[in-house]
Amino acid sequence: METRKFGNTSVDPSLLGFGCMRFPTLSDGSIDEVMAEKMLDTAIEKGVTYIDTAYPYHQGKSEPFVGKVLKKYPREKLLYTTKLPVWEVKSEEDVHRLFKLQLERLQTDYVDFYLLHALDQEKWDDILKYNMIPILMDYKKQGKIRNLGFSFHDEYPVFETIIRAHAWDFCQIQLNYMDVNHQAGLKGYRLAEELNIPIVIMEPIKGGSLANLPEEFSKFLKAYDPERTLSSWALRWVAQLPNVKVILSGMSTMEHVMDNLNTFNQYTPLNETEMGLIKQVGDSLRSRMKNGCTGCEYCMPCPHGVNIPRNFRIWNDYGVYGNKDVTQRRFFKDMDWAERADQCVACGNCEPLCPQAITIIQDLIRVTQEMEALK
């Protein structure tokens, strides 16, 4: 298994990290513990040491399940990773309560990597309000937290504020060859590298989208190397960044496990030709986007409640990947009806604020029409 030195520590985690938020499930939605345990066992036997879970995963059942499975192995052989649910903290005491509960769930006296979960500007404000960092630093001094970091879901300026505010041991960002300008993006990666802060990557396959490319694009990669999966191409693109120390994969099947193990147990860096092919595919996919929305949110808030960037993100992803089922779910089920494009009243408040000069009102009409056509 490919490993990388983690900053100034003596830790060399496996480059592949097992993300425990997408375990296989039974018909009632609970974790299929028999299959999930086999998947974890297989990954660990083949060299995976970095196991990543979090308080809310699988309706709070991931941490207890992971703790039970990992208890079979020598504690010093594995790197336990979990995250503080910042949104649950309403007092300093909540930080203590939640952290102690997580240790109990994981059946351990300490965690190797602990993150402030899914940070954005609002959560960062709460972190400062409730003194979360000093409290967690005290746990670090006690040896109950070995490395303290954060995971991030907001735009680059917020990322820069957070990463410069503390001497973090690491941070976790979303990055793949399609999301180079999304959230922290490559700009955030380079800032972390400049600050000597190791990076853990989530969504390297963009929620599976890069493993299921339209045939007209996947054929370029398959023609070059028929034996490599599309997932492997995406993972190797992330792995070519030297400050990436762990790449998380949320594996749902044994097939996912074996494919990822094959990528990292026989890891070869991308060569110049392969980098060119991925750039070609990425550029071609981006050309299918419906409009140029960057998600900057300058158009927000909409006085009538429409989530303009979210509508355009779903619409653009549909244009790029053409996944009807995923698009229907994201638009009609995952998004509140009041945020949908069909609630636009064409007040015109948004358009003068858009730095991309997008015809927002007209594009929201197009979103509505195309989403209705999917029903």
* b/e code 197-211 from CB counts within 10 Å (16+ = b): bbbbbbbbbbebbbb
Q: For residue 198, how far is the Cα from the chain centroid?
A: 16
**Is omega for the bond preceding 204 within 30 degrees of 0, making it cis?**
no
Both tokens assigned to 152: 């991030």
Q: What is the pLDDT along the chain (375 residues), one digit of tens a residue?
A: 899 999 888 899 999 999 999 999 999 999 999 999 999 999 999 999 999 999 999 999 999 999 999 999 999 999 999 999 999 999 999 999 999 999 999 999 999 999 999 999 999 999 999 999 999 999 999 999 999 999 998 889 999 999 999 999 999 999 999 988 888 899 999 999 999 999 999 999 988 889 888 888 888 899 999 999 999 999 999 999 999 999 999 899 999 999 999 999 989 999 999 999 999 998 988 889 899 887 778 899 999 999 999 999 999 989 988 889 889 999 999 999 999 999 999 999 999 998 888 999 999 999 999 999 998
Return the DSSP state at 351.
G
Q: What is the model's pLDDT at position 266?
A: 87
Domain residue ranges in the chain: 16-280, 308-372
Q: Which phi and psi angles does 130 have, rounded to 5°?
A: -105, 15
Q: Please name every residue paired with 250 in a beta bridge, in sequence order, or none if there are none.
A: 19
* b/e code 111-148 from CB counts within 10 Å (16+ = b): bbbbbbbbbbeebbeebeebebbebbeebbeeebbbbb
* pTM recorded for the entire structure: 0.88
- Tell me which residue of 157, 155, 156, 159 sits closest to 171, measured CA to CA: 159
Structural contact between residues 148 and 114, judged by C-beta atoms closer than 8 angstroms: yes
Return the DSSP state at 334.
I
**What DSSP string describes 173-228?**
EE--TT-TTSTTHHHHHHHHHHTT--EEEE-TTGGGGGGS--HHHHHHHHHH-TTS
Structural contact between residues 234 and 204, judged by C-beta atoms closer than 8 angstroms: yes
Whole-angstrom distance, CA of residue 69 vs CA of residue 289: 43
**Superfamily in which the 16-280 domain is placed by CATH:** NADP-dependent oxidoreductase domain (3.20.20.100)
**Type of residue numbered 73:** Y
Structural contact between residues 64 and 17, judged by C-beta atoms closer than 8 angstroms: no
Q: How far is CA 357 from CA 1, 255, 353, in A?
A: 48, 45, 8
Both tokens assigned to 55: 């308080």
